Amino acid sequence: MIRFFRKIRQQLAIDNKPLRYMRYAFGEVVLVVIGILIALQINNWNEIKKTESKIRNSLVALKSDLVQDTLLIAEKLPFIIEQYQLNESLRARVAKPGATVDTLVKIMRYEFNPNWSAQIIYNTNTYNSLNQTGLMENLSDSLKATIKNFYNKKLFLRDRIEKTTNDYREKITSYVDTYTFGSTPIHDQGPLINRLVWEDINPGHLAATFQGISNFKRILFTETREELNYSLANSRSLIGQINIYLNQ
């Protein structure tokens, strides 16, 4: 094709027909420009298809992460609710009008469980990748906002839980410097240590200590339950939105 145009151009030059030569040269330039534009358009189209493919693969991976997270949450949530209710039942017994120092001692010596629950480690690799690669900006405004708001609030809730957990740890550390726990095999120190520790206690100190750690445990498990419920409900909702996007 190039040789064909070259021969025409040469013939026009030999025939000394400058006007026709200029018209032909202009037409040839136009054809070259059109060819370049077509090539660029094809290249852009290919890039768009590649980006769309990356987005779809990322959303499939994000959906898989969310599904796994919901399974972890569904497994853990009943335990959190159970521990919250147990803590509330102990607080209610101490708060009854007929409660005595012996009631408090029995609870703290044999029943109170100081343990807390470690947070679920969510898989955020796909979410982070969407942000770092800039693919997030190629999503629809609605889906992009939903994803960002969901993970931002999760981060806020988890940071709050971490702070409360640290405060609770400090309360427990202070408690075990004075008392023992017998509610779980891990904390059972045996009859000798238990007897020596509990023989001569300060009821006021024990009451204040119980109030402090049970309050923090209430807050901790309330916040944990809130985060799990939020993550479970909104993970399922986000999965639904991703399915709609992928099926378009």
Residue 209 near residue 203 (C-beta atoms within 8 A): no
* Regions of the chain short of the pLDDT cut 50: 1-2, 5, 12, 21
What is the spatial distance between Cα 100 and Cα 98, in angstroms, rounded to a whole number? 7
User: Are 54 and 230 contacting, i.e. CB atoms less than 8 angstroms apart?
Assistant: no
> pLDDT tens digits for 172-201?
888 888 887 765 666 666 778 777 888 888
pLDDT, tens digit (0-9, with 9 covering 90-100), for 81-121: 999 999 999 999 999 999 999 999 999 888 888 888 889 99
What pLDDT was estimated at residue 239? 96
Domain boundary assignment for the chain: 55-246
Report in angstroms the alpha-carbon separations of 154 from 71, 170, 221, 226.
17, 25, 16, 10
